Structure 1
Amino acid sequence: MGKKAIIFMADSGGGHRSAAQALKEAFDFLQPGEWEVHFIDVFSLLPFPFNKSGGSYRPMVTYTPWLWSFLWNLAQNRWFLDFVFGFFTPLTRNALLKLIRDYEPDLAISVHQFSNVVPVKVFRDGGWGGFFATVVTDLVTTPLAWFYPGVDACFVPTPEAREMALKAGIHPDKVYLKGFPVSLRFQPPEDKGEVRKALRLEEEATTLLLMGGGEGMGKIFPVALAINEASLPVQLLIVTGRNQGLRRALERVNWKIPCRIYGFVDFVHSLMQASDVVLTKAGPGTIYEAITVGVPVLLIDFVPGQETGNVDFVVRNKLGAFAPSPEKVVAVLEEWLSAPALLDEMKAQARKLANPKASLEIVSLLLEKAIL
């Protein structure tokens, strides 16, 4: 392997890592065996105790969403970001320069909002002459920290994100609207029944997939109970991710409907291909994985700030609906189950909006622009 790339990401939530893996997969697909791709957790570059801050994401948005909303809105001010990045630049300089020495990357990619300004400045000051690209993994209400005019390219998933990039001062020639990078495994199924058979599910039953990202976040438990109590004519698949407490609680439920409970799995694409509806919080990665597969989305929760606009995105584009309470979830599902044509319309709209080859297009353009 003669070429090297590093991808800045974080494990606070599962979306950043999923996007990074999708890009790595694209490198392997387009130039097999030619690229050595390394993932760098942006928080690991910080000294103690700041290197532990990534773990505060789930507790904060779960138990103190008002605090997260306050901090998110504060970070939409350029003066605040200048202060934060000015503070952390000297704290991370040595670690970032060590990355250059250790990996000698030809290409650096950021899929996290906090790994744009500081790495670009430190890399350039350190004499690195490679190509630096940002791949934005928020959809509509995108944090200002994503956008730094000093990057060589900025890939955005939606027209709204493109507008934000331009307003932040990135030159139009550097901004590319390519969609959201998802794994090539997320494709519409040729035969949904065959996928269900492989998963040992009921082949003819209407199937609901309930999930909350890699961390099992959101209102999964009360929504699952409401669907169970309503005895809807469905089979229910629940992915709890890394949330072991949630999984144990669900396993104690007396289920009236067919139900399968999964922890953290690497076959979410198959579960989506087996499903007729995906119920989830408004995480951008899960939304785009679902619509790429061609499945309507019923949003049950959202993180204030960066996920607020995702609700409107889904509703406005007729990709699904938002149900803020378990009772509303049941009501929407009853409406959808009684109107198959409505589900078909949402599936068609999903296929129209999704770009299953987004990761390939992003990496292809990166290779072209970086002249590698």
Structure 2
Amino acid sequence: MKKVYLMIYDLGAGHRSTANALQKVIEQRQLPWKIHIVDAFKEIIGTAVPHKIYNQLILKKNWAKIITEPLLVPSFKLQIRLYHFAWLARFQRYWQQHQPDMVIALLPYVNRLIYESLQAVSPGVPFATFITDHADCPPHFWIEQQEQFLICPTERAVEQAKNFGYTQERIFRTSGVVIHPRFYEPMKCDRRIERQRLGLDPDLPTGLITFGSQGSKVMLEIADCLEKSSLNLQLIFICGRNEEIANTLRRQQSRLPRYIETFTNEIPYYMHLSDFFVGKSGSVGVSEAVAMKLPVITECNAFSLFQERPSAVWIADNEIGIVVRNFRDINQAVAKLIQPETLAYYRANAAAINNKAVFEVVDILEGILENSFLEAVQKPLQV
């Protein structure tokens, strides 16, 4: 069995969901690989501070977006530089103990540490980075100038890799961002019946509002705006692990029919019941919506998380939804989107995007591992 390490951290849910999706396809294909999903900060560096800051403040509280780029990101990059050699030693000890056959980074920031530590311990072990955003956000985010493989979900990411000096044989292009294979499975339930079962109107336009695994107080602002509008629609709120938001929504009196859920693995089911998606422009979330043929409404402005802005550009360029400057404009966006002709246009554009990245990435990793084995076999012995 080959030992394959998928390096992540639990800042948000995108990195782990990508790893889980790849693991699922690897298991379905019965590849002779033992998959290890490793949170680099918790399990190797030994800290959960970045998780608390990002999940509790930036995502749940939302106000911390204001200080992300001017303060948090520079200070985090500085910390990585200051602790480089100490953290490098921890990674080296980890690789010495575990002896991987392949390592794949599904996380930004620390890929130089992973690469250098792996080179020091096992220079023949292949290392690849899969960019889980729609583009890199240089400097020193996803792409580092080092001898690794890069798996890119968009043409923009490919061009960025080339600008860093990567040769064609080290760049692999996929048809999009990795999402779980369950989003490709046919939904056999009747939408009208299932809507009624949830206490919703079987025929009203239905919006799905979700802001990832941590939820966000922005959901309350969106709910309030739509409640005060004259729009005739209904809403499904997926609040993730944010019980506070879910309870607040449940307590409110609403003229619009609504269904409220917390963390769930049944996102494809709720997307199947919906007509459009409202949420942050995280690459995985919007890609899941598009795979379910849902037009997207998202926000992009100076306060948006920098790594999510390329997803908003991708949505606008492919005309698969509406990007607003502020969610205070949600009423106008929804009013435009639910017009039958407009909704049909965006749904058709979403259906035209054939993202099979989760299967393509496994194919790519198979090839990398096989080629590295052949190179090792063919390499002449040093006398």
What is the TM-score normalised by the length of structure 1?
0.88
Q: Which runs of 5+ in 1 are unaligned?
A: none
Contact 1:291 1:354 in 2 (8 A): no
Q: Secondary structure of the equivalent of 1:182?
A: coil
**Deviation of residue 236 (structure 1)?**
0.9
Counterpart of 1:177 (choices 169, 173, 176) is 173
Aligned to 1:167: 163
Cα distance in 2 between the residues matched to 1:167 and 1:275: 41
Aligned to 2:377: none
Aligned letter for 1:249? Answer: T
Q: Percent of aligned pairs with the same residue?
A: 23
* Inter-CA distance 132–6: structure 2 relative to 1 (3 Å threshold): same
User: For 1:260-275, what aligned pairs fall within 5 Å after superposition?
Assistant: 260-275=259-274
User: For 1:1-372, what aligned pairs fall within 5 Å after superposition?
Assistant: 2-31=1-30, 34-45=32-43, 50-58=47-55, 59-60=57-58, 62-71=62-71, 74=74, 85-140=80-135, 142-144=137-139, 145-178=141-174, 179-187=176-184, 189=186, 193-194=190-191, 197=194, 200-201=197-198, 202=200, 203-217=202-216, 219-230=218-229, 232-300=231-299, 303-337=304-338, 339-355=339-355, 357-371=356-370
Cα distance in 2 between the residues matched to 1:310 and 1:304: 11
**Deviation of residue 171 (structure 1)?**
2.2
Cα distance in 1 between the residues matched to 2:354 and 2:261: 26
Cα distance in 2 between the residues matched to 1:199 and 1:265: 20
Deviations 1:160-213 (A, max 9, x none): 111112222322221111021101111375567348628934443322100101
What is the TM-score normalised by the length of structure 2?
0.86
**Deviation of residue 293 (structure 1)?**
1.4
**Deviation of residue 106 (structure 1)?**
1.2
Contact 1:182 1:359 in 2 (8 A): yes
Q: Secondary structure of the equivalent of 2:344?
A: helix
Q: Secondary structure of the equivalent of 2:352?
A: helix
Q: Secondary structure of the equivalent of 1:353?
A: coil
Cα distance in 1 between the residues matched to 2:196 and 2:3: 37
Cα distance in 2 between the residues matched to 1:128 and 1:84: 26
Cα distance in 2 between the residues matched to 1:22 and 1:10: 15
| Greater Cα shift, 19-28 or 83-92 | 83-92
* Inter-CA distance 249–218: structure 2 relative to 1 (3 Å threshold): closer
**Deviation of residue 51 (structure 1)?**
3.9
Question: What's the Cα RMSD here?
Answer: 2.6
Contact 1:8 1:115 in 2 (8 A): no
Contact 1:250 1:261 in 2 (8 A): yes
* Inter-CA distance 143–192: structure 2 relative to 1 (3 Å threshold): farther
Cα distance in 2 between the residues matched to 1:343 and 1:192: 22
**Deviation of residue 93 (structure 1)?**
3.0
**Deviation of residue 232 (structure 1)?**
3.1
Cα distance in 2 between the residues matched to 1:64 and 1:85: 21
Considering only CA atoms, is the larger Rg found in Structure 1 or Structure 2? Answer: 2
Cα distance in 2 between the residues matched to 1:212 and 1:93: 34
